[in-house]
Chain A
Amino acid sequence: MSYHQDLPPKGGYPDVQWKRNLPSRGFRPSIYLAIMGVVSLLSVIPMSKGFRERREYSREKAWARLSLLPLLQAEADRDYVRRITALTKREQELMKDHPDWADNKPVFNDGRSRFPSYVALEATKN
Chain B
Amino acid sequence: MPSNHLNTLPYYVVDPTPMPEGIPSVPEVGATSAPLLSVSYFIGARCKPYNNNFMLCRSKSKTPEQDCLYEGRRVTRCAISVLEDITKNCEETLKAHVDCLENRNHELDKCRLQEAFLNKCVKKFLNLEKVIPDAEGIPVHLRNVKLVD
Contact between chains at B66 and A81 (CB < 8 Å): yes
Asked if B10 CB lies within 8 Å of chain A CBs, one says yes
Contact between chains at B69 and A70 (CB < 8 Å): no
Contact between chains at B148 and A125 (CB < 8 Å): no
Contact between chains at A71 and B76 (CB < 8 Å): yes
Chain A hits for B50, CB < 8 A: 70
Q: Quick one: which of A44-84 are within 8 Å of B by CB?
A: 46, 49-50, 52-57, 59-61, 63-71, 73-75, 77-78, 80-84
Contact between chains at A70 and B135 (CB < 8 Å): no
- On whether A74 and B76 interact (CB within 8 A), knowing A67-B41, A113-B62, A113-B64, the answer reads yes
Interface hub of A64, A70, A73, A84 (most chain B Cβ within 10 A): A70
Chain A hits for B29, CB < 8 A: 71, 75
Asked if A121 CB lies within 8 Å of chain B CBs, one says yes
| Shortest Cβ distance from residue A51 to the other chain B in the assembled complex, whole angstroms | 8
Question: Interface size on B (CB < 8 Å)?
Answer: 56
In the complex, A110 Cα to B68 Cα: how many Å?
Answer: 19
In the complex, A1 Cα to B24 Cα: how many Å?
Answer: 141
Question: Interface size on A (CB < 8 Å)?
Answer: 44
Q: Which of A53, A66, A73, A83 makes the CB contact (< 8 A) with B148?
A: A53
- On whether A124 and B11 interact (CB within 8 A), knowing A64-B40, A80-B65, A86-B17, the answer reads yes
Those 4 A-B pairs whose CB atoms lie nearest each other, nearest first: A67-B44, A74-B72, A86-B17, A123-B11
B→A interface (CB under 8 Å): 6, 9-13, 15-20, 23, 26, 28-29, 36-37, 40-41, 43-44, 47, 50-51, 54-55, 58, 62-66, 68-69, 71-73, 75-76, 79, 107-109, 132-136, 139-141, 143, 146-148
25 interchain pairs, CB-CB under 8 A: A53-B140, A53-B143, A53-B146, A53-B147, A54-B148, A56-B132, A56-B139, A60-B141, A63-B133, A70-B51, A71-B36, A73-B72, A75-B29, A75-B72, A78-B69, A81-B65, A81-B66, A82-B20, A85-B20, A110-B62, A113-B64, A123-B13, A124-B16, A125-B10, A126-B12
